[in-house]
Amino acid sequence: MKYNSDVEALDAFAEKYNLLRQEIGKVIIGQEEVVKNVLISIFSKGHCLMVGVPGLAKTLLVNTISNVLGLKYSRIQFTPDLMPSDIIGTEILDETRNFRFVKGPLFANIILADEINRTPPKTQSALLEAMQERSITAAGTTHKLQDPFFVLATQNPIEQEGTYPLPEAQLDRFMFNVYLDYPSYDEELMVVKSTTSNKQVSLNVMMEAEEIIFFQDLVRKVPVTDNLMEYAVNLASKTRPATAKAHEMATEYIHWGAGPRASQYLIIGAKCHAALNGKYAPDIEDVNAIAYSVLRHRIVRNFKAEAEDVSVEKIVAAMME
């Protein structure tokens, strides 16, 4: 990929993004905001957690994205009896009586952590090092994971039977927490028509690993003004009760606020959001567009907020005003 300037590369990135969405749209009907957020997390070198009831095509979406990006894809079905070694791999004694490390499914580019909250926290924690350091440590040896690497996890609502809440440390490693809602009537009609016939859809590979890494680095080069940096850090700071910059809603309704990762992801997400929309630098609108997805899982409401049914979205909206 040879471009004469970063501006030309950003134009090509926006064009590629539109082609990607069109290709994904052959299989995924509707859910445009969800598709956009998943792609933003990928090009921002982040991980994405998708929350929704069963049957909303969460798994199909990840599978479709892996096909159009031409990456090595691995699906891990999280179950109550899953062990950490089932994810990262294990050492075996081979025929020469020497120990040999057999890589687990985590050694891929796209990891689908399907129904991640159906396994106990002990097994969920096996993802922590991989998601942060892009490496795996087993039997004292560190194994680097291949770039690009991202975890796209699906989660059933925690009110359902047989689910475990994700630990805060695990949640904080996800750049985005995206909610999937039921499709509209027309969208559901199209889904039923397309999935109850013999129609076969063939997907084209729109981007290879090398190009993805190039665009990930390009997003980091997008310039950001100091006042936008201050806006993002202020927004994250407002969520922290009992601090100097705490918002009144934080003092009243929040038990635990967002950490520094929130500020980082607000900026990198805003950069990517701007680039995908054909802009060469982000503004406050870009930060606000991804703020809910960044802050939703980093804010822990207190008992009063739950009793009065004050949602995280309502709290964040008040802070953005």
pLDDT in tens, 191-239: 888 888 877 778 888 888 899 999 999 999 999 999 999 999 999 999 9
User: How much is the pLDDT for 139?
Assistant: 73
Residue 185 lies in a domain: yes
Is pTM beyond 0.85? Reply is: yes
**Last residue in a domain, options 169, 202, 235:** 202
Domain match, 255 and 131 both: no
Write the burial class of residue 288 (CB in 10 Å: 0-12 exposed, 13-18 middle, 19+ buried).
middle
On whether residue 53 sits in a domain, the answer given is: yes
Residue 270 has a pLDDT of 96
pLDDT at 161: 61
Q: Are the beta carbons of 122 and 80 closer than 8 angstroms? A: no
Decide: residue 309, CB within 10 A, 0-12 exposed, 13-18 middle, 19+ buried.
exposed
Q: Specify whether 301 is located in the same domain as 236.
A: yes
Say which amino acid occupies 142.
T
Q: What values do phi and psi take at 91, rounded to 5?
A: -90, 135
Q: Are residues 117 and 38 in the same domain?
A: yes
Q: Which two tokens stand for residue 4?
A: 């004469």
CATH assignment of the domain containing 227: 1.10.8.80
93 forms bridges with which residues in the sheet? 99
Residue 83 has a pLDDT of: 87
Q: Is residue 140 part of a domain?
A: yes
∠ CA(181), CA(275), CA(266), 5° rounding?
60
Contact between residue 41 and residue 48 where contact means Cβ atoms under 8 Å apart: yes
Do 95 and 153 lie in a common domain?
yes
Please count the structural domains in the chain: 2
Which residue(s) pair with 99 in the sheet? 93
Residue 69 sits in a domain of what CATH number? 3.40.50.300
Domain range for 121? 6-202
Residue 99 has a pLDDT of: 80
Question: For position 85, what pLDDT does the model report?
Answer: 85
Residue 142 inside a domain? The answer is yes
Last-in-domain residue among 174, 202, 230: 202
Residues of the chain with pLDDT under 50: none
DSSP tag of 167: P
Helix residue ranges per DSSP H, the chain = 6-24, 32-43, 58-69, 84-88, 121-124, 128-133, 168-172, 185-195, 209-221, 226-238, 248-253, 260-276, 284-295, 303-307, 312-320
